[in-house]
Amino acid sequence: MAAARARQAQLVKPPGSLGRLEDLAVWLAGVTGSERPTLHARVVVAAADHGVAAQGVSAYPQAVTAQMLATFASGRGAVSTLAGAVGAELVLVDAGVAGGSQGIDCVRLGIGPSRDLSLEPALTVGEVALAVDAGRDLAARAAADGITVLAGGEMGIANTTPATCLAAVLTGRAVADLVGAGTGLDDAGIARKRAVCERALELHADAARGPLHALRRVGGGEHGLGYVCDGLIATAAAAVAAGIEPDLRPRLLAGHRSPEPAHGVLLDHLGLEPVLDLGLRLGEGSGATAALAVLRLALATHDGMATFAEAGVSGSSR
Amino acid sequence: MAAARARQAQLVKPPGSLGRLEDLAVWLAGVTGSERPTLHARVVVAAADHGVAAQGVSAYPQAVTAQMLATFASGRGAVSTLAGAVGAELVLVDAGVAGGSQGIDCVRLGIGPSRDLSLEPALTVGEVALAVDAGRDLAARAAADGITVLAGGEMGIANTTPATCLAAVLTGRAVADLVGAGTGLDDAGIARKRAVCERALELHADAARGPLHALRRVGGGEHGLGYVCDGLIATAAAAVAAGIEPDLRPRLLAGHRSPEPAHGVLLDHLGLEPVLDLGLRLGEGSGATAALAVLRLALATHDGMATFAEAGVSGSSR
């Protein structure tokens, strides 16, 4: 990182004038251990269903999770088009899709949908271990494949509810303050979701201490994965991961800021400043993938610009 | 635009969930008159020198303007690398470079550096006419070449000083509140720049009414060009252009938010919300060009995503 920062100081521009683009190049230098890093990006989208969907906390029926996983695989989901535009690979994961993932090219964790967190723990101890191990395996396989940046996304009807509960447990904030509209709930729906979240926190508050217990109690299948943060759900996963492995923190990048209240609280909790603020509230890894375009610009300048000496340009008169 | 908005409503995502990406696709549909527009982008960087540099308002010597124009042409300036990364053409303009532009592949307006605006009008009536006409010609030529988006950038030692004065005249704000650090002035430099701007406004305030008079009195050679806004200088040019041609306003996009105080005031004046906020303060069109990457993502989703019907995905239960 020091070498990359020194290079930035020599490039033919006023020091610091490329702002966040300079920071992003230096961040990737640190992540990869290379003064002039390359971006080989993979987007991992984990899909899972959630028993809490039965409480009417989403504007969409549960069947949509499996349908969207198939759409991603067809290349015509939002994240598929974004990954194509930024030159990133797309890997899909069935982390507990209710309808299954027959015929879809994806990694299968072999676990089913989570249980209704407003009534009982969402996951078993075995499911948590399986999901976390699968996340580690996916990250290790990406590293072995020469991937330098992993972006995490998710799909799952009702999954802002567990992610909001996770945010409340991990940050200590009142869950009622963190509930948002998700994919587009009306006021009555938001009130219902708030009541469900409050009931869940009451049920699990004492038992949900620590990131893994929180994940088991109020999380979901796709929360075992995470590395580069997308919106609320992927950032909740990253907060769990950073709770287990504090050394992960400097390797995290916040792709964007979502309008979900719990997302802002999690970004503050992790000390992350998002790259983009475009009002995205889709999930799927769309914000993380869009941010890869900015990371690519950071590297284009970091690698392609001349130094003052190379260009024969006069320096500052100070 | 209505057709593009209708298409967005059918794409396989909750309505509005791609936020600004949806707005950008609809904006380009309006600009091009096409429901599914394509992005053919050209970045026009106008370089000019300013007599006010003699007042010590920049951290860099005037020779840097010509040196940087040559660096852009070599492909290794920041804007050259960014344009390459987003797939945009780069056109350079000598709009009054003190050292001239011999041997550099660029459009030459045939005017010299502006005069010191703290002592006399910066440009002659003839120079203003020439610069504005050249801007119109460049835009017309781009349209004839099939370009759908023109991004405007600039290079010119001391050019935040005229742009800040222009912002004060066009918006009616006190110039002392608008002065920033430019490429990196220290506190003494900022105080000096503030005094120069105040002297200039006192000298020209009565005569600088209306955008063209303002341009002549306190502007500079590169201010005759502008279409998609970069930072302070290019946005000041856009504000002049929108003052002359109010119909231009809906065709303007703000690429990014710069830390210069006068830039925020101009964005408010034009009613523009920037796409990126990355702390860029380089100029050159770097922020406008970076925003083209986001525009490309907007079109990738707009054009590549399936509709609910095409994907066979269930709609909202509401």
Can you read off the two tokens belonging to residue A274? 């998002």
> Does B284 qualify as catalytic in the annotation?
yes
Identified catalytic residue from B22, B222, B260, B284: B284
Contact B76 A280 (CB under 8 A): no
- Residue B299 CB contacts under 8 Å (≥ 6 apart), including other chains: B24, B25, B28, B37, B38, B39
From B126's Cα to the closest Cα of chain A, the distance in A is: 32
Domain CATH for A96: 3.40.50.10210
Can you read off the two tokens belonging to residue B94? 């000598």
Contact B280 A313 (CB under 8 A): no
Q: 């130094």: which residue's tokens? A: A307
Task: Tell me the one-letter amino acid at A209.
Answer: R
From B139's Cα to the closest Cα of chain A, the distance in A is: 26
- What value does the mean pLDDT take over residues B186-193? 95
Interface test with A, best of B185, B282, B292, B299 (most A CBs within 10 A): B282
Is the pLDDT at A19 greater than 60? The verdict is: yes
* Residue B115 pLDDT level (bands cut at 50, 70, 90): very high
- Residue B279 CB contacts under 8 Å (≥ 6 apart), including other chains: A19, A20, B259
Can you read off the two tokens belonging to residue B110? 């045939």
Domain count of the fold of chain A: 1
Among A183, A276, A311, the residue with its CB nearest the CB of B71 is: A311
Q: Write down the pLDDT at residue A228.
A: 66
For the sheet containing B149-155, what is the strand order? B107-108, B89-94, B41-47, B149-155
pLDDT tens digits, one per residue of A6-16? 999 999 999 99
- Residue B200: inside a domain: yes
Provide, rounded to the nearest whole percent, the portion of chain A with pLDDT above 70.
97
- Residue B277: inside a domain: yes
Please name which of A61, A263, A236, A100 lies closest in space to residue A162, comparing C-alpha atoms: A236
Interface test with B, best of A301, A303, A310, A318 (most B CBs within 10 A): A301
Q: 């695989």: which residue's tokens? A: A73
Is the pLDDT at B225 greater than 60? The verdict is: no
DSSP state of A178: T
Longest dimension (CA), chain A: 69
Can you read off the two tokens belonging to residue A239? 């907060």
- What value does the mean pLDDT take over residues B291-295? 93
Q: Write down the pLDDT at residue B270.
A: 94
Among B63, B78, B315, the residue with its CB nearest the CB of A18 is: B78
What is the rounded CA–CA span in Å between residue A258 and residue B17?
10
Is the pLDDT at A225 greater than 50? The verdict is: no
* Residue A222 pLDDT level (bands cut at 50, 70, 90): low
How many Å is the Cα radius of gyration of chain A? Answer: 20
Contact B78 A11 (CB under 8 A): yes
Please name which of A237, A239, A193 lies closest in space to residue A219, comparing C-alpha atoms: A237
Contact B278 A21 (CB under 8 A): yes
From B129's Cα to the closest Cα of chain A, the distance in A is: 32
Contact B310 A15 (CB under 8 A): no
pLDDT tens digits, one per residue of B294-308? 999 998 999 898 888
Is the pLDDT at A254 greater than 90? The verdict is: yes
Angle, helices B160-171 vs B232-244, to 10°: value is: 40
Q: Write down the pLDDT at residue A158.
A: 94
Window A:283-302, CB contacts with B under 8 Å = 286, 290, 293-294, 296-297, 300-301
- Residue A15: inside a domain: no
* Residue A249 pLDDT level (bands cut at 50, 70, 90): confident
Contact B76 A276 (CB under 8 A): no
Window A:160-199, CB contacts with B under 8 Å = 183-184, 186
Question: Which residues on chain B are in Cβ contact (under 8 Å) with A311?
Answer: 67, 70-71, 74, 76-77
Contact A280 B17 (CB under 8 A): yes
Instruction: Kindly provide the ipTM of the predicted complex, given to two decimals.
Output: 0.90
- Residue B71: inside a domain: yes
What average pLDDT does chain B have?
Answer: 91
- Residue B157: inside a domain: yes
Q: What range defines the domain where residue B119 resides?
A: 38-296
Q: Are strands A107-108 and A149-155 parallel, antiparallel or unpaired?
A: unpaired
Q: Write down the pLDDT at residue B256.
A: 95
Q: 């999901």: which residue's tokens? A: A131
From A156's Cα to the closest Cα of chain B, the distance in A is: 13
A13 touches chain B (CB under 8 A): yes
CB pairs under 8 A between A and B: 197
* Residue A206 pLDDT level (bands cut at 50, 70, 90): confident
Residue of A nearest to B306 (CA): A76
3-state secondary structure of A299: helix
- Residue A317: inside a domain: no
pLDDT tens digits, one per residue of A256-275? 999 999 999 999 999 999 99
